[in-house]
Amino acid sequence: MFGIHGLESFATVYNPEWGDQAGQLTGTQQVRARGRAPARLTLRLEKCFHNEQAAGRDQLEDPRHLGPVKIIEYQNRIKNSELRPLALEVQLHPLHGQTGRGAAAAGDVEGERIAVCRDHLGAQLGRGQAVPPFSARQIEHPITHTYPMSMPEKPGAWPHARRSLERATLEQLAAHRADLLVIGGGINGAGIARDAAMRGLRTILVEQNDLASGTSSRSSRLIHGGLRYLEQGEFGLVLEANRERRILRRIAPHLVWPLPFVFPVHEGDRISRWRLAAGMILYDLLALFRNVRPHRLLGKRGILEAEPMLRDRGLLGGARYYDAQCDDARLVIATARSAIHHGAHVATYMAVRGLERTAGRVVGAELEDRLTGERGVIRASVVVNATGPWADRVRRLEDAGAAPLLQPTKGIHVIVERSRLDHREAIAFTSPIDGRVMFVLPWGDLSYIGTTDTDTAEPPDELSVSADDIVYLLRSTNARFPSARLSVEDVRATWAGLRPLLADQSHTASNRTREHALVTGSGGMLTLVGGKLTTYRAMAAEVVDLAMRELRHRDGRQRHTDARTDEDPLPGGETADLSQFRDRGLELGVPPASVDHLLRHYGTEAAGIFNLAGADRRLLRPVLEPHPAIEAEVIHAVRRELAQTVEDVLVRRFHLYYEHPDHGASVAHRVAELMAEELGWNAGRIQEEAERYLQFVIREGW
């Protein structure tokens, strides 16, 4: 619950990315009155917040004293450079009298019927009393970003106004011809959709499962220059990746954070000390000396002081250097949400089953809605295949005889309790088995170890983790952390991913290039393959540049070309200073561990979750102890993060599947119940969804 102290101290801001759940409480705000009545207002949100004034000092927490607050979006459709989406009209109802309620609740509200807080009017308002029109107020977001007003090129041609975070339906997608259809909701598809939408293209993104359900949630979760690519001489890639690391830390500080690494060198290691030292200098150079900190070479003592559990026998020394870690799945979701904010339509569980052609050119796709079973056709001027390891399969829909572009390799990770290794920082080391560079990476109380890099013929949707892969990772780690004595019983969970690497018979799996390629197929479909999570933004820009050229070639229209993908923060990334949000969470009674967890995972958007829990304290309940997630996050996942199944919530949004010993099985039913309230599921459907998750755990569980 949070208080309304009167207009001067109550703060509600609306960011269009936050969709219809605009009740973001971000601390004390100044609320400035606008001098004129707005032309047309639309009700965006109505919520009852705890009214401390009415409750009195001794009943501050008593939830029975509710004061309604309405947030009304400015709907001035005239182009006006002064208007920004963050400017909104807020209506505070009289705290005691309910004047104006009927008018506002009706939907569109005319200026003269707006009610205001009686404190502001300086008069007692009685029930049903008329209220003057100057009451609408403009609120400024406390964070100083200015979002330019983006207008559809042809007003009305594309439903840009629909920035709902609900999954787009087949009917909505089929209603309009798109400029760009992006197939695949991994990091590349999401990045392309965001870039295209920011450039004003009418963009659709379809994903056959959940966002990030492919490779993009199965990575090593590193946003890194790629120290080991130096060995392959891929300096251009490292330079670009280092630049992207800086950008991603800036636009999504909550999702991409700096990570110090210790790299020990033991006798007989493939990488000697001098070679490591040379690599470190080059790595800093390719980061233009703008990494978190420059590297430091360490002697044996320095390494053991940093990481006492490392094997001391044969230890020669090593180095400390810096990269960044990320929440890969959340990075995809945030990027897709940003695309929606900029006007893209995003539909998960929407599979492309065929491609539409006119005169040999690909002009759309046949879709299957995997949640309803419906099928339909959508049209688009340019189609982009961003399906990662599935890319060759989708290319064959365009050209049955298309030569494969990919030669994927499989990589697995295992999760163990961090206390078993007791490492403080991330560890990079060479495996004594085959000399490959491996990582032990911290993740809260857990550590994940990876990765393998092996050729495989397994299809992307049937990847398995073999016992050999696990044994390889554990044996390599035990050799460096002798007291850990890890065995397969210590493995809490595993994940396997397929690197969509460019075909290159001349290199072994580990040495195959991480560069990307953009290929135009026989029907004009653009296919993106290769690359890394880290460089997605740069690759997306390249794809959209080509798509723009293609569009201009087709219709001769010049479109504006700038997309500030490197400046616009991703949702939740508006600031790295979250202290005011932290205080607010604690004030609302959110347990400190959950406050930290929410800020870490959601950035500024944690405020929305605090609000949910504040409005309904039952949502403060933990989802599954000792994990700090609270039930309000389930609601948030459905309303704002396009979650459609229990698996979407527990695997990719909460990572509970990987992190909790029971993989979230014991709470599948409860999570389904919470989702049901948002998605309108009945008792039968709740049961079905919970069982589907249990089947998933049995099938995938380690």
Ligand X SMILES: Cc1cc2nc3c(=O)[nH]c(=O)nc-3n(C[C@H](O)[C@H](O)[C@H](O)COP(=O)(O)OP(=O)(O)OC[C@H]3O[C@@H](n4cnc5c(N)ncnc54)[C@H](O)[C@@H]3O)c2cc1C
Q: Is residue 259 near ligand X by the rule CB under 6 A?
A: no
Q: Work out whether 645 is an interface residue with ligand X (CB under 6 A).
A: no
Extract long-range pairs of 454-463: CB within 8 Å, 24+ residues apart. Answer: 454/409, 454/410, 454/509, 455/407, 455/409, 455/410, 455/509, 456/408, 456/409, 456/410, 456/498, 458/410, 458/498, 460/214, 460/215, 460/388, 460/389, 460/390, 460/408, 460/498, 463/410, 463/496, 463/497, 463/498
Pick from 22, 55, 187, 238: which binds ligand X (CB under 6 A)? 187
CB of 550 to ligand X, least distance (A): 20
User: What is the Cα–Cα distance from 421 to 424, expressed in whole angstroms?
Assistant: 9
Contacts of 551 (CB under 8 A, 6+ apart): 179, 201, 381, 382, 557, 559
Q: What are the residues facing 320 on neighbouring strands?
A: 262, 296
CB of 347 to ligand X, least distance (A): 9
**The tokens 């060995």 sit on which residue?**
231
Q: Which string of b and e fits 368-398 if b means at least 16 CB within 10 Å?
A: bbebeeeeeebbbbbbbbbbbbbbbbbbebb
Is residue 242 within 8 Å of residue 225, measured between CB atoms?
Answer: yes
Tokens at 281, concatenated: 């200098």
If binding is defined by CB under 6 A, does position 19 make contact with ligand X? no
Contact range with ligand X by CB under 6 A, out of 60-68, 183-191, 464-472, 659-667: 183-191
Please, which residue, 181 or 613, has the CB nearer to ligand X?
A: 181
By the 8 A CB rule, do 651 and 659 touch? no
CA–CA gap between residue 393 and residue 114 (Å, rounded): 56
Backbone angles phi, psi at 203, to 5 degrees: -120, 140
Residue 189 near ligand X by CB under 6 A: yes
**Residue 686 binds ligand X, judged by CB under 6 A:** no
**Number of residues counted as binding ligand X (CB under 6 A):** 39
Task: Give the span between the Cα atoms of 389 and 400, in whole angstroms.
Answer: 17
Q: Does 604 bind ligand X (CB under 6 A)?
A: no
In the bound complex, what is the minimum distance in angstroms from residue 98's beta carbon to ligand X?
Answer: 48
Q: Of 183, 194, 157, 171, which Cα lies nearest the Cα of 364?
A: 183
* Cβ 498 to ligand X shortest distance, Å: 6
Instruction: Write down the H helix ranges in 577-682.
Output: 579-587, 592-602, 606-615, 632-640, 646-647, 656-659, 668-679
- Name which of 408 and 585 has its Cβ closer to ligand X: 408
Q: Could you give the CA distance from residue 426 to residue 430 in angstroms, rounded to a whole number?
A: 14
Kindly state whether residue 387 participates in binding ligand X, applying the rule CB under 6 A. Answer: yes
Shortest distance in whole angstroms from residue 140 CB to ligand X: 36
Nearest CA to 205 out of 234, 174, 182, 172 is that of 182
For the chain, what percentages of helix, strand and coil (3-state, to nearest 5) are there? 35, 20, 40
Residue 3 makes contact with ligand X by CB under 6 A: no
| Residue of 200, 389, 521, 572 that binds ligand X (CB under 6 A) | 389
CB of 341 to ligand X, least distance (A): 20
Determine, following the binding rule CB under 6 A, whether residue 88 of this chain makes contact with ligand X.
Answer: no
Q: One symbol per residue from 207 to 226: x for binding ligand X (CB under 6 A), - otherwise; what is it?
A: xxx---xxxx-xxxxx-x--
Span from 85-93, 203-211, 228-236, 685-693 in contact with ligand X (CB under 6 A): 203-211
The window from 2-10, 130-138, 195-203, 206-214 that contacts ligand X (CB under 6 A) reads: 206-214
Cis peptide, bond prior to residue 387, ω within 30 of zero? no
Smallest separation, CB 652 to ligand X (Å): 10
Q: Does 411 bind ligand X (CB under 6 A)?
A: yes
* Size (the chain), residues: 702
Cα distance from N-terminal residue to C-terminal residue, the chain: 41
Using the rule CB under 6 A, is 325 a contact of ligand X?
Answer: no
User: In whole angstroms, how far apart are CA 571 and each of 17, 72, 170, 340, 651?
Assistant: 7, 21, 26, 11, 20
Beta carbon of residue 487, minimum distance to ligand X (angstroms, whole number): 22
Query: For ligand X, which stretch binds (CB under 6 A), given 423-431, 527-535, 540-548, 670-678?
Result: 527-535
**364 sits near ligand X (criterion: CB under 6 A):** no
Query: In the set 165, 230, 315, 533, which binds ligand X (CB under 6 A)?
Result: 533
User: Is 573 an interacting residue with respect to ligand X (CB under 6 A)?
Assistant: no
Candidates 4, 31, 87, 183: give the one binding ligand X (CB under 6 A): 183
By CB under 6 A, residue 390 contacts ligand X = yes
Binding test (CB under 6 A) with ligand X, winner from 310, 352, 473, 540? 352
Binds ligand X by CB under 6 A, chosen from 161, 351, 377, 546: 351
Q: Is residue 168 near ligand X by the rule CB under 6 A?
A: no
Residue corresponding to tokens 């390629």: 517
Q: Does 537 bind ligand X (CB under 6 A)?
A: no
- Do 510 and 436 meet the contact criterion of CB atoms below 8 Å apart? yes
> Does residue number 16 form part of the binding site for ligand X (CB under 6 A)?
no
Which residue among 29, 188, 565, 611 contacts ligand X (CB under 6 A)? Answer: 188
Q: Identify the burial level of 161 via C-beta atoms within 10 angstroms of its C-beta, where 0-12 means exposed, 13-18 middle and 19 or more buried.
A: middle
Between 221 and 295, CB nearer to ligand X = 221
Interface with ligand X (CB under 6 A), residue from 38, 225, 318, 500 = 500
Q: Is 265 near ligand X (CB under 6 A)? A: no
Does 206 bind ligand X (CB under 6 A)? Our answer is yes
- Point out which residues bind ligand X (CB under 6 A): 183-189, 206-209, 213-216, 218-222, 224, 351-352, 386-390, 394, 411, 451, 497-500, 531-534
